[in-house]
Amino acid sequence: MSGPAQLPLALGSWPSLAADDFVVTPANGEAVAWIERYPDWPATLVALHGPAGCGKSHLLHLWRQRSRAVLIEPAALSVAAVPSLLGPSRAVAIDFGAAEPGAVCEERALLHLYNLLRERQGHVLVAARAAPPRWALTLPDLRSRLGASASVAIAAPDDLLLAGVLGKLFADRQLRVPPGLIEYLVSRIERSLDAAARVVERLDRAALDRRRSLSVALAREVLDENSGQN
């Protein structure tokens, strides 16, 4: 049985800033396909949406690097600021995180940005918890524009994705992974990429502090200790 596909990328949020591997599985495969398809997008706005820790921010920043898009903070969006924020660019990335888009930026500013990009035949990629039709917006023109947007769902990480990310994170730290460790962690940790990064960091620190090699036994201790703190 073949393993998960690999997509070359460089992500500042990963421990390594050099070109590395991004694990592609059914959980994020459709979103990755959209990233690779750019600039052949049928919509001005494309929204990556999904639960916390699913990797949508990582993919947004990957697209930003490939497209040389301008990254705009939602709170910075205002009608007056849009022209200077956009500059001559035809590509914009906006990460709403866990926030409700209509609550963290001016709706008229978002509409203005959308219209400018459409005139330039450009694109905006956003990352948000929910798809645009579920955003609490009051501006009819903006709701109408977003009705023509493309929404791409990213699921919570599956076993293949978690295992691949854990393996990559251990490799970033040049840590030797014993048999059974990744499988054990996949069955125990929260299903998010952030949780994978946290547990690898804790295991690395624990191995150094206790002068022990990585093992399932050490992982059990670390996870039990952390559970006791909650």
Model pLDDT, residue 21: 56
The tens digit of pLDDT for each residue in 133-192 reads 999 999 999 999 998 899 999 999 999 999 999 999 999 899 999 999 999 999 999 999
Residues 132 and 211 in one domain: no
Cβ 82 vs Cβ 62: under 8 Å: no
Share of the chain above pLDDT 90, in %: 77
**How far is 27 from 44, CA to CA, in rounded Å?**
24
Number of structural domains the chain divides into: 2
Q: 9 in a domain, yes or no?
A: no
Residues 36 and 126 in one domain: yes
Model pLDDT, residue 179: 95
Full-prediction pTM beyond 0.85?
no
Residues 54 and 148 in one domain: yes
Residues 91 and 108 in one domain: yes
Residues 105 and 176 in one domain: no
The tens digit of pLDDT for each residue in 87-117 reads 999 999 999 998 999 889 899 999 999 999 9
Cβ 45 vs Cβ 150: under 8 Å: yes
Q: At what angle do helices 181-188 and 216-229 cross, to 10 degrees?
A: 20
First-to-last alpha carbon distance for the chain, in angstroms, is 39
Residues 48 and 144 in one domain: yes
Residues 116 and 147 in one domain: yes
Cα angle vertex 155, ends 103, 195, to 5°? 85
Residues 82 and 184 in one domain: no
- Domain limits at 85? 28-153
Last residue of a domain, one of 125, 153, 181: 153
